[in-house]
A = this chain, B = another copy of it.
Amino acid sequence: MNFPSVKLAAEGQLATVAIGDVETEAGAVIEDVHIAYRRWGDFYGNPHGKNNLILVEHALTGDSNAVLWWEGLIGPGMALDTDKFCVLCTNVLGGCQGSTGPSSDHPDGGKWGSRFPATSVRDQVRAEQQFLETLGISSMHAVIGGSMGGARALEWTLMYPDWANYACVIAVSARASAWQIGIQTSQIHAILRDSNWQGGDYYGTGRSPDEGLAAARRLAHLTYRGELEIDERFGTMAQPGENPLGSFRSNDQRFAVQGYLDHQGKRLVERFDAGSYVAITEALNRYDIGRGRGGLNRALHSSQVPTMVVGVDTDILYPFHQQEHISRNLGNLLAMNKIVSPVGHDAFLVEARQMHHILSNFIALADQTPSITELATHRGNYDI
């Protein structure tokens, strides 16, 4: 068969695609949206039917460079084998690593800043769907993601059930829990309370809410990492050269864990925009696959995409019972896997050996399980 040709970015190189306007779930319009992405492995097959495309979805502050944040899992001969599959990873709508977000140029001049509307995970997926359409693609083998990436993967199966043949949903829930909304809002407020925030329009003022962003990250990091792992690494040790037990409290005399968290905060400030952090965190607050679909379980049950669900036993941000809930109610559960680790939520990024098995298993199970399209074909055959 001859398929329409699909032109994709050079292997591993950042490229950007203009996808037009995106109308948000809440009714705002984001004009002239660009989505940045990278690709590994050649595209084979029918862009509107059976092909070898795998869309990998990053977490909150991740980016399109999936081979870096999922090191050892994407490449020739690896679990997501780029000799066989074409792996795409976009930067999320609202992000700051190439896709349109608060720090991007507004069509009317200046940066988007406070003009950037509130987005939801569904808006993120809608933008990705427009992105794939712009590339001339309307079908893929699989969508895979963890944390906010897992939320996108699950929304993909519900918003566009005939686009992804298989899905792998990792370390996420079916909606934001009240606890998540609470802790995420604490992070948003840490940024908003920084006087350099300036209502979100700090771009070009020479002042940016770095302190607020660092505070948000220090807090977030404590939800990404299990208390076991953090305690095993740092306990009550002092930061080398400092004395946290002096006669008076001092910000310069820290426990080792404070030094570690300060470092995490600084690193994020160097690579991430506070406006994007607020925008994407707000999208997580609004995450709810049940909204407008008759509730959570009806929504889950409606999905016919064979879906693998993965969780982490020590995750306090997305506790394992949330993945159990998804798996018990999904219309077409491919498999349920548990990452066992002291690391907590981040284990899906860190436990490379376990993730290798899980993703390899996902690929193998998909091979043995009919997709919706194949099932429809089979049924057709039997009907005759």
The residues of A with any CB-CB pair to B shorter than 8 Å are 24-28, 114, 117-118, 120, 175-183, 185-186, 188-190, 192-195, 211-212, 215, 218-219, 221-222, 225, 227, 230-231, 233-236, 244-249, 251, 255-258, 261, 278-279, 282, 285-286, 288, 291, 316, 319
**Given A117-B248, A236-B181, A249-B118, A255 and B285 touching (CB < 8 A)?**
yes
Question: Are the CB atoms of A222 and B182 closer together than 8 Å?
Answer: yes
Residue from the list B189, B211, B222, B319 in contact with A179, Cβ < 8 A? B222
Contacting A227 at CB < 8 Å: which of B26, B120, B179, B288?
Answer: B179
CB-based contact B231/A177 at 8 Å: yes
A194 to B194, CA, bound (A): 9
Q: Point out which of A225, A246, A285 has the most chain B C-beta atoms below 10 A from its C-beta.
A: A285
Give chain B residues whose Cβ lies under 8 Å from the Cβ of A195. 195
Give the distance to chain B from A109, nearest Cβ to Cβ, in Å. Answer: 20
Q: Complex Cα distance A253/B286, Å?
A: 12
Q: Please give, as numbers and ranges, the residues of chain B lying within 8 Å of A215 by CB-CB distance.
A: 186, 189-190, 193
Q: Are B118 and A247 in contact (CB under 8 A)?
A: yes
A182 to B234, CA, bound (A): 10
**Copies of the polypeptide in the assembly:** 2
Return chain B residues, CB-CB under 8 Å to A258.
181-182, 185
| Chain B residues, CB < 8 A from A190 | 190, 215
Residue of B nearest to A186 (CB): B219
Minimum CB distance partner of A221 in chain B: B182
In the complex, chain B residues whose CB is within 8 Å of the CB of A120: 245
Contact call B257/A178, Cβ cutoff below 8 A: yes
Quote the shortest CB–CB distance from A25 to chain B (angstroms). Answer: 8
Contact yes or no, A236 B118, CB < 8 A: no
What are 22 pairs between A and B in contact, CB < 8 Å? Answer: A26-B245, A114-B248, A120-B245, A175-B236, A177-B227, A177-B231, A178-B227, A179-B225, A179-B230, A179-B257, A182-B218, A182-B257, A183-B222, A185-B261, A186-B218, A186-B222, A189-B218, A190-B190, A192-B251, A193-B211, A249-B278, A255-B285
Q: How far is the CB of A378 from chain B (nearest CB, A)?
A: 38
Query: In the complex, which residue of chain B has the Cβ closest to the Cβ of A287?
Result: B236
Q: A193-B193, A193-B211, A247-B28 are in contact. Are A181 and B255 (CB under 8 A)?
A: yes
A56 to B342, alpha carbons, bound, how many Å? 35
With contacts A189-B215, A219-B219 taken as known, whether A247 is within 8 angstroms of B182 at the C-beta atoms is no
Q: Which residues of B contact A282 (CB under 8 A)?
A: 249
Least CB separation from A235: chain B residue: B178
Q: Which residues of B contact A251 (CB under 8 A)?
A: 192
What residue in chain B is nearest A246 (Cβ atoms)? B26
Contacts of A175 in B (CB 8 A): 235-236
Most chain B Cβ neighbours within 10 Å, of A193, A249, A261, A319 = A249
Nearest Cβ on chain B to A74's Cβ, whole angstroms: 31
Chain B hits for A114, CB < 8 A: 248
A219 to B186, CA, bound (A): 7
Chain B residue with minimal CB distance to A183?
B222
Q: Shortest Cβ distance from A31 into chain B, in angstroms?
A: 14
Distance, CA A162 to CA B323, complexed state (A): 51
Find out whether the CB atom of A176 lies under 8 angstroms from the CB atom of B236.
Answer: yes
Inter-chain contact A245/B286, CB cutoff 8 Å: yes
Is A244 a contact of B285 with CB atoms below 8 Å? yes
